[in-house]
Amino acid sequence: MKLHSTKKPSVAGVAAILFSYLSLASAPGVFAGTGYNSSSGKHPPAAAMGAPSNLWDAHRPDSHAPIGIMGDHTHEAGEWMLSYRYGYMNMEDNYVGSDRISDQTVISPSGGGFLVTPTKMSTEMHMTGVMFAPTDFVTLMLMAPYVVKEMDHLRRDGVRFTTGSEDWGDLRLVTLWKVYDDNRQRVHLNLGVSFPTGSTTESDFVPGLGRTRLPYPMQTGSGTWDLVLGATYLGQSAGRISWGAQALGLVRTGTNDEGYTLGDRITGSVWGAYMLNDSLSLSSRFAIHSWGNIDGRDRGLATPAAAVPTADPNLRGGTRLDWAGGFNYYLRKGFLKGGRLAFEAGLPLWQDLDGPQLGNEWFLTAGLQYAF
- By the criterion CB under 5 A, which residues form the site for Cu ion? 81, 131
To the nearest whole angstrom, how small is the minimum distance from the Cβ of residue 64 to Cu ion?
Answer: 7
Nearest partner of 38 among 174, 130, 139, judged by Cα: 139
Nearer to Cu ion among residue 247 and residue 342 (C-beta) = 342
Nearer to Cu ion among residue 116 and residue 131 (C-beta) = 131
Element (H, E) at 319: strand 318-330
Give the burial class of 138: count Cβ atoms within 10 A of its Cβ; 0-12 exposed, 13-18 middle, 19 or more buried: middle
Q: Distance from first CA to last CA of the chain, Å, rounded?
A: 57
To the nearest whole angstrom, how small is the minimum distance from the Cβ of residue 65 to Cu ion?
Answer: 11
Whole-angstrom distance, CA of residue 254 vs CA of residue 225: 7
Contact 91, 122 (CB under 8 A): yes
Nearer to Cu ion among residue 81 and residue 107 (C-beta) = 81
Contact 136, 186 (CB under 8 A): no
To the nearest whole angstrom, how small is the minimum distance from the Cβ of residue 135 to Cu ion?
Answer: 15
Nearer to Cu ion among residue 131 and residue 147 (C-beta) = 131
Q: Kindly tell me the number of DSSP H helices and DSSP E strands found in the chain.
A: 2, 17
To the nearest whole angstrom, how small is the minimum distance from the Cβ of residue 324 to Cu ion?
Answer: 20
Whole-angstrom distance, CA of residue 13 vs CA of residue 165: 31
Q: Torsion-angle region of residue 20: left (phi > 0), alpha (psi -120 to 50) or beta?
A: alpha
To the nearest whole angstrom, how small is the minimum distance from the Cβ of residue 273 to Cu ion?
Answer: 16
Nearer to Cu ion among residue 81 and residue 187 (C-beta) = 81
Three-state SS for 301? Answer: coil
Pairing of strands 185-194, 172-182: antiparallel
To the nearest whole angstrom, how small is the minimum distance from the Cβ of residue 303 to Cu ion?
Answer: 41
- Torsional sign, CA 14, 15, 21, 24: negative
CA dihedral 312→317→321→327, nearest 10 degrees, is 80
Nearer to Cu ion among residue 48 and residue 143 (C-beta) = 143
Nearer to Cu ion among residue 81 and residue 116 (C-beta) = 81
Whole-angstrom distance, CA of residue 145 vs CA of residue 173: 12
Nearer to Cu ion among residue 79 and residue 264 (C-beta) = 79
To the nearest whole angstrom, how small is the minimum distance from the Cβ of residue 53 to Cu ion?
Answer: 22
Give the burial class of 228: count Cβ atoms within 10 A of its Cβ; 0-12 exposed, 13-18 middle, 19 or more buried: buried
The residue nearest Cu ion at its CB is 81
Nearer to Cu ion among residue 83 and residue 303 (C-beta) = 83
To the nearest whole angstrom, how small is the minimum distance from the Cβ of residue 133 to Cu ion?
Answer: 9
- Measuring CA to CA, how many Å separate 150 from each of 89, 162, 232, 294, 369? 11, 7, 33, 21, 28
Nearer to Cu ion among residue 357 and residue 369 (C-beta) = 369
The distance of Cα 21 from the centroid of its chain, to the nearest Å, equals 20
To the nearest whole angstrom, how small is the minimum distance from the Cβ of residue 139 to Cu ion?
Answer: 7
To the nearest whole angstrom, how small is the minimum distance from the Cβ of residue 140 to Cu ion?
Answer: 10
Which 3-state string (H, E, C) describes 233-266? EEEECCCCEEEEEEEEEEEEECCCCCCEECCCEE
